[in-house]
Chains A and B, each alone.
Chain A
Amino acid sequence: MSQPLVKVDQLTKLFPVSRGMFRKPVDFIHAVDGISFEIAPGESLGLVGESGCGKSTTGRMLVRLSDATSGQILLGDSKGSGDLVDVAHIDDSDMGTFRRRVQMIFQDPYESMNPRRTVFETISEPLAVQNIGSLHEREGRVRDMLQLVGLTPPETFLFRYPHELSGGQRQRVAIARALVLDPSFVVADEPTSMLDVSIRISIMELMLKLADDFNVSYLYITHDLAVARYMCDRIAVMYLGKIVEIGDTEEILGNPQHPYTKALLSAVPVPDPSFKKPEVQILGGITKAINPPARCRFIDRCPFSQPICETEDHPPLEDKGGAHFVACHLVEKSA
């Protein structure tokens, strides 16, 4: 197998919770707790889970908008050759190169853009920061990008401001901005959740097409399993800072093993009134992982828990057959 594009190893992020007179951090929220996964060149991995499970924090660490507490993020190149770079130890002088390879698309197109900059300024800014091309060449590049993301004819959009664009058009600008440096890896944090259904599909289609054209890999963060199914080759399910299940999209959706994945899947509304939904078995809502005990994170809501779940540490993510990894003591290995 060729080298992965991204290799995450035991990645952890703790947020201190301050209490008392001197605001001394006494407790820690384990937002992301020792997760590991790999993404191959050109592959898209979906990171799904409920709010507060640590999926956005993971995304932010991958683009270094937030520093990891411990663990490693290694970044390869799109050809799957060459050395892996440790993202945590990139110094300022190499940061520029890193940003050329890794970009992010944010959830809210109304807040991720400077309202006083035109579309041209927004999309060309990465080029200016990286000192790529003359002004004239940048304009040509921005025109090409606008064409690619379907904002045509480009000259009618170049000098518009964000308030003159609809939500869908803004998200197209955000995609153009993320791809203008020709990155190999893009973290997309709920890029379609603020958009209306009819616009959502065209943005998803656009992202799929550009992934092919530019040979980019996505880490696609979403709470919506139906969207993840459409966008991703593989899916990782997170619960309170842990990845509880990871595998090929259709395998995870068709043959979920972890009790949390099963519950999540049966709770998803299905656009078919004749579909008989299985009952959701788990109770309660998600909590926060403040100084969690070592045992399985899911135990309080799990309908199947056994004494072993109480006494043992959080189960490791194990291959239960066919590259389908599950973190549960009670799931047997299949042949």
Chain B
Amino acid sequence: MSRPLLEVDHLVMNYQTEKGDVSAVEDVTFTLHAGESLGLVGESGCGKTSIAMSLLRLVADNAVFKSGEIRLDGTNLLALTEEEMRQRRWSEISMVFQGAMNAWNPVYRVGDQIREAMDLHFRPRLSAAESNDRIERLFHLVGLNPAMAERYPHEFSGGMRQRAIIAMALSCDPKVIIADEPTTALDVIVQDQILQELKKIQAELGMAIIYISHDIAVIAEVTDTIGVMYAGKLVEIGPTDEVFARPRHPYAFLLLSSTPSVTGPRRKLAPLEGEPPNLLDPPPGCRFHPRCPFATDRCRTDVPIAENVGGGHLVACWNWEQVPEIGALIK
């Protein structure tokens, strides 16, 4: 198999605060190939957005990379100077931000804001005519009327703003796009339109996309691979079909068991007791053990090591063999 486009290798990232270090990303490893789509799911505060921001090195000032590497085409992004990183941002790796409502500067035309991104990051530089032409093509691609480029953000609806954000993320032909909750604030019909659009664009242009969402159903629809995060750890990763059919980590299992659906039999859902831990002082051993119905003594002391359960499906749990089939806990 060819070398992956993006390799996140044992990444550890902390936020330093007055109260101590917050362990936001703890020993996370995954790879992404060109044209592939990966989904990261988890609850708020589990480290999804911290990973996204680490990939772009747009982390907060108090963030410290303790160890690990992020390699894009073999280059460790964490070892680059700020200027070298700036040159790679947008042209190699770009982002669709969450909250399209706030991602635009309200006093500039949308087209001008996309043009600014291209002026800074597109090499070789485009002439004015070329960049206009490019914006027109981008707007067509995301399903917007190119005349809208001359309008201001407040003249766009929420769905249109999100489409324009996608156009901006595509503007410099990146190899990887990170879509952080790309449709969270949108109504379901518009959400569906945007997700279908992104899938179509990906098939056409062939870039890799990392989707980040708290909504496991969205991830089910758009990704090839899914990674489940809990309290800064990647606890399970594997082909989306397999993880959904047979989640092996207790957290992934409970998350799937507690997701209501409009299809299939109306079933009783199993609530997940307790709350995520405080990452200033994460529990020893497995971080999920205080809430885990399958926890044993070993889980309280030893950090589980990711184990391959077959077909590139990795699980970080000592007792994954105990986890029953989905539907076992529920009537």
Please give the residue numbers on chain A whose beta carbons come within 8 Å of chain B beta carbons, in ascending order: 50-51, 166, 168, 196-202, 204-205, 223, 225-227, 229-230, 250, 253, 263-275, 277, 280, 282, 285-286
Beta-carbon contact of B218 and A264 below 8 Å: no
Q: Could you mark each residue 181-216 of chain B with 1 if its beta carbon is under 8 Å from any beta carbon of chain A, else 0?
A: 000000111111101000000000000000000111
- Please give the distance in Å from A54's CB to the nearest CB on chain B: 14
Please name all residues of chain B whose beta carbon is closer than 8 Å to the beta carbon of A229 when the two chains form the complex.
260, 262, 266
Q: How large is the interface on B (under 10, 10 to 19, 20 to 34, 35 or more residues)?
A: 35 or more
- Please give the distance in Å from A44's CB to the nearest CB on chain B: 14
- Please give the distance in Å from B209's CB to the nearest CB on chain A: 16
B310, CB-defined interface residue at 8 Å: no
Beta-carbon contact of B271 and A201 below 8 Å: yes
Beta-carbon contact of B191 and A267 below 8 Å: yes
Beta-carbon contact of B275 and A168 below 8 Å: yes
Kindly identify which residue among B43, B256, B262 contacts A270, using a CB–CB cutoff of 8 Å.
Answer: B262
Beta-carbon contact of A271 and B259 below 8 Å: yes
**How far apart are the CA atoms of A235 and B244 in the complex, in Å?**
29
**How far apart are the CA atoms of A198 and B245 in the complex, in Å?**
19
B286, CB-defined interface residue at 8 Å: no
Beta-carbon contact of B271 and A271 below 8 Å: no
Please name all residues of chain A whose beta carbon is closer than 8 Å to the beta carbon of B269 when the two chains form the complex.
201, 204-205, 230
Known: A201-B269, A282-B189. A196 touches B214 (CB 8 A): yes
B273, CB-defined interface residue at 8 Å: yes
A199, A205, A282, most chain B CB atoms within 10 A: A199
**How far apart are the CA atoms of A253 and B214 in the complex, in Å?**
24
B102, CB-defined interface residue at 8 Å: no
Beta-carbon contact of A273 and B240 below 8 Å: yes
B44, B215, B217, B269, most chain A CB atoms within 10 A: B217
Please name all residues of chain A whose beta carbon is closer than 8 Å to the beta carbon of B273 when the two chains form the complex.
202
**How far apart are the CA atoms of A163 and B51 in the complex, in Å?**
27
B263, CB-defined interface residue at 8 Å: yes
Please name all residues of chain B whose beta carbon is closer than 8 Å to the beta carbon of A205 when the two chains form the complex.
269, 271
Please name all residues of chain B whose beta carbon is closer than 8 Å to the beta carbon of A263 when the two chains form the complex.
189
A196, A204, A223, A264, most chain B CB atoms within 10 A: A196
**How far apart are the CA atoms of A240 and B191 in the complex, in Å?**
19
Beta-carbon contact of A197 and B244 below 8 Å: no
Beta-carbon contact of B188 and A271 below 8 Å: no
User: Can you show 29 pairs from A to B with CB atoms below 8 A apart?
Assistant: A50-B188, A166-B275, A196-B43, A197-B258, A198-B43, A199-B275, A201-B271, A202-B271, A202-B272, A205-B269, A205-B271, A223-B187, A225-B188, A226-B259, A230-B266, A263-B189, A265-B262, A267-B191, A269-B188, A270-B221, A271-B244, A273-B221, A273-B240, A280-B193, A282-B189, A285-B158, A285-B190, A286-B187, A286-B189
**How far apart are the CA atoms of A268 and B262 in the complex, in Å?**
8
**How far apart are the CA atoms of A290 and B127 in the complex, in Å?**
44
- Please give the distance in Å from A260's CB to the nearest CB on chain B: 9
Please name all residues of chain B whose beta carbon is closer than 8 Å to the beta carbon of A271 when the two chains form the complex.
216-217, 220, 244, 256, 259, 261
Beta-carbon contact of A273 and B241 below 8 Å: yes
Q: Could you mark each residue 139-179 of chain B with 1 if its beta carbon is under 8 Å from any beta carbon of chain A, else 0?
A: 00000000000000000011100000000000000000000
Please name all residues of chain A whose beta carbon is closer than 8 Å to the beta carbon of B157 when the two chains form the complex.
285
Please name all residues of chain A whose beta carbon is closer than 8 Å to the beta carbon of B311 when the two chains form the complex.
none
Excluding A197-B259, A198-B254, A270-B263, 11 further A-B contacts by CB distance (< 8 Å) are A166-B275, A199-B272, A201-B269, A225-B262, A267-B189, A269-B215, A269-B217, A270-B217, A271-B259, A272-B220, A272-B261
Beta-carbon contact of A230 and B275 below 8 Å: no
Closest residue of chain A to B46 (Cβ to Cβ) is A196
- Please give the distance in Å from B10's CB to the nearest CB on chain A: 27
Beta-carbon contact of B189 and A285 below 8 Å: yes
- Please give the distance in Å from B294's CB to the nearest CB on chain A: 16
Kindly identify which residue among A50, A250, A277 contacts B266, using a CB–CB cutoff of 8 Å.
Answer: A250
Beta-carbon contact of A198 and B187 below 8 Å: no
Please name all residues of chain B whose beta carbon is closer than 8 Å to the beta carbon of A250 when the two chains form the complex.
266
**How far apart are the CA atoms of A50 and B189 in the complex, in Å?**
8
Beta-carbon contact of B261 and A270 below 8 Å: yes
Beta-carbon contact of B260 and A230 below 8 Å: yes
Please name all residues of chain B whose beta carbon is closer than 8 Å to the beta carbon of A223 when the two chains form the complex.
187-188
- Please give the distance in Å from B263's CB to the nearest CB on chain A: 5
Beta-carbon contact of A226 and B260 below 8 Å: yes
B270, CB-defined interface residue at 8 Å: yes
Please name all residues of chain B whose beta carbon is closer than 8 Å to the beta carbon of A226 when the two chains form the complex.
217, 259-262
Beta-carbon contact of B275 and A273 below 8 Å: no
Please name all residues of chain B whose beta carbon is closer than 8 Å to the beta carbon of A197 when the two chains form the complex.
43, 214-216, 255, 258-259
Please name all residues of chain A whose beta carbon is closer than 8 Å to the beta carbon of B190 when the two chains form the complex.
285
**How far apart are the CA atoms of A272 and B243 in the complex, in Å?**
10
B264, CB-defined interface residue at 8 Å: yes
B188, B244, B270, most chain A CB atoms within 10 A: B188
Please name all residues of chain A whose beta carbon is closer than 8 Å to the beta carbon of B258 when the two chains form the complex.
197-198, 200-201
Query: Nearest 4 pairs between A and B by C-beta?
Result: A198-B272, A269-B217, A267-B192, A226-B260
Known: A197-B43, A198-B271, A201-B272. A269 touches B191 (CB 8 A): yes
Q: Could you mark each residue 257-294 of chain B with 1 if its beta carbon is under 8 Å from any beta carbon of chain A, else 0?
A: 01111111010011111010000000000000000000
Please name all residues of chain B whose beta carbon is closer than 8 Å to the beta carbon of A280 when the two chains form the complex.
189, 192-193
Please name all residues of chain A whose beta carbon is closer than 8 Å to the beta carbon of B266 when the two chains form the complex.
229-230, 250
- Please give the distance in Å from B17's CB to the nearest CB on chain A: 17
- Please give the distance in Å from B55's CB to the nearest CB on chain A: 23
Beta-carbon contact of B220 and A269 below 8 Å: yes
- Please give the distance in Å from A136's CB to the nearest CB on chain B: 32
Beta-carbon contact of A269 and B218 below 8 Å: yes
**How far apart are the CA atoms of A150 and B316 in the complex, in Å?**
31
**How far apart are the CA atoms of A68 and B214 in the complex, in Å?**
37
Kindly identify which residue among A51, A201, A269, A273 contacts B244, using a CB–CB cutoff of 8 Å.
Answer: A273
